[in-house]
Structure 1
């Protein structure tokens, strides 16, 4: 969707301090757009937010904000309420297009942050604002947590046989290019767009094999049963009615179980199964090149 010579727009960007938001900011500036980064603090202060938006007079608003923890209170405050306030401010400022960075996992909403994201998606699609909702698959960063383990010669942790889940990971810069490319793309208006990086889909074990190969080390794996998260959730849930701490930790266990057992691919509406074939691909950066940079200290 990227144009060779995009029309410069006035853009308000929320979430510019995050990993994807920072990549979007770089892309917007590289393409000559006038960008106003919305401070995170302003999202919790309607008067401050209105002041920022009045000054920016955006034609396009891009939201890359997301709750950091995924805990119910955080998800409600950020994934839903902050976006609702941003949408209201965008309407008041006369913006014509709201681009939302969501997540592909909302297709099967079992977690608090997924339900909060879907609640705002519903608000956005029901509004009079022109919209584009982008649901990316896994980010490179989310698949890099075990790089130090592998570099240190430790085994790569997998769940079950390592083939329970698959994804088509996408780089920060490729995703940013896709997001910014939606600004002047008529075919993106009023659409919910799932997007992945260049395929093929990769399992957790294949991620480990790739890391070991790049590190020049023999592959070693240690299997963990996802049921450990189910047990933890059940135990923590016993204390949830009496303690917010227990409720929050029970949700973290649910999040861990979800990512250990659910693929980040488009679900086939006819079968309910995750489908690599139905998951669109975009970009050119590969997970292998990312791992090489990571292990070389880049």
Structure 2
């Protein structure tokens, strides 16, 4: 991974000399992986697990990768930067906040050539302020910079839950999807189902002998979870597969849709334990949302917690599958599958000792 310290806290990309125009130079190979047919790709959101997987997939396919990464500060920053260097080996890193409009005025972008943008960037908390700042405005700024730089293709990682938008982050994502579609640039909007990471939260509690939490009877919802690597493969494939151009693309992992109860049954079986469930009434979530919403009018922190509770309730009652608006139901058969890794494969690895992904601020329980 190469980088040079720049002004205003931004690391200047070493490849910024690849200018548009008759004097443009040919991009140099990245770790020997770039090929003549490889593109120069700007990757947003590279520090997340999906972003890192996407960086790997891009490099493996011979693309030159430039990652815009938030500067890290405070305790553990050096260690985190070292790990990031290892995870993004072969890519060039530009330091800066994508949500800071000034970032896009740096030579790394104004004087650089990019063939495509791939964004795995998303708000950390899902709070209204964070969602509109990152899921919408930061992407709008990136889109404008991409248009100015003559970028041909924008691949956007969205979410399948925007089909039935009730939450701030869903409306923010949809607003950017609309802006991207209307921009005139070739686009691929990818709407994945549940991630393995989001379904890993109960592993530790079950290993500790605690019951698996379910809402209702555990069969209110279903999903076709997709792994980071399979999703990254699909995202990168959008660059070359013209059938995915100018399309909104729902995508899930392999195998049939699974319910939370089935997830619990499989975990208990892997651990050799009898299934134990604790039912959480959906009505309880409504009470929590209501109380926090009232408190949120007085205490800003409570308002953010109320939004998190609303997000939790949404996922407790809505399937992560393609929504059939005419039939008013979710349709597992209409939800496309991609890849080879299943959630149950991941459960088996985690039970054997592989560390499950850190869910960070997206954790609900």
Both proteins in one fold, TM over 0.5: yes
CA RMSD of aligned residues (A): 1.4
Pairing 1:66-215 to 2, within 5 Å after superposition: 66-215=122-271
Contact 2:161 2:320 in 1 (8 A): yes
Contact 2:100 2:138 in 1 (8 A): no
**Relative to 1, partners in 2 of residues 1:144 and 1:17: Cα closer, same or farther, differing over 3 Å?**
same
* 1:43 is aligned to 2:73: no
**Relative to 1, partners in 2 of residues 1:234 and 1:132: Cα closer, same or farther, differing over 3 Å?**
same
2:73 aligned residue: none
1:119 Cα offset (Å):
0.6
- The DSSP-based 3-state class of the residue aligned with 1:48 is helix
- Which runs of no fewer than 5 residues in structure 1 stay unpaired? none
Instruction: Tell me which moved more, 255-264 or 39-48.
Output: 39-48
Contact 1:29 1:35 in 2 (8 A): yes
Q: Deviations over 1:83-107 (max 9, x none)?
A: 0111011111110000000000000
1:225 Cα offset (Å):
0.8
Q: Supply the distance in 2 between the matched residues of 1:233 and 1:154 (Cα, whole angstroms).
A: 25
TM-score, with length taken from structure 2? 0.78
Q: Supply the distance in 2 between the matched residues of 1:83 and 1:118 (Cα, whole angstroms).
A: 12
Q: Deviations over 1:64-100 (max 9, x none)?
A: 1001110001101110011011101111111000000
* 1:29 is aligned to 2:59: yes
Q: Higher helix proportion, which one?
A: 1
2:305 aligned residue: 249
Q: Supply the distance in 2 between the matched residues of 1:149 and 1:248 (Cα, whole angstroms).
A: 25
Contact 1:6 1:184 in 2 (8 A): no
Aligned residues: 294
2:317 aligned residue: 261
**Which consecutive segments of 4 or more residues in structure 1 shift more than 3 A?**
none
- The DSSP-based 3-state class of the residue aligned with 2:97 is helix
Q: Supply the distance in 1 between the matched residues of 2:297 and 2:212 (Cα, whole angstroms).
A: 36
**Relative to 1, partners in 2 of residues 1:230 and 1:98: Cα closer, same or farther, differing over 3 Å?**
same
Q: Supply the distance in 1 between the matched residues of 2:157 and 2:100 (Cα, whole angstroms).
A: 21
Q: Based on CA coordinates, which of the two structures has the bigger radius of gyration?
A: 2
1:150 Cα offset (Å):
1.6
1:148 Cα offset (Å):
0.9
Q: Supply the distance in 2 between the matched residues of 1:47 and 1:67 (Cα, whole angstroms).
A: 19
Contact 1:236 1:250 in 2 (8 A): yes
TM-score, with length taken from structure 1? 0.95
2:332 aligned residue: 276
1:228 Cα offset (Å):
1.3
1:233 Cα offset (Å):
1.1
2:20 aligned residue: none
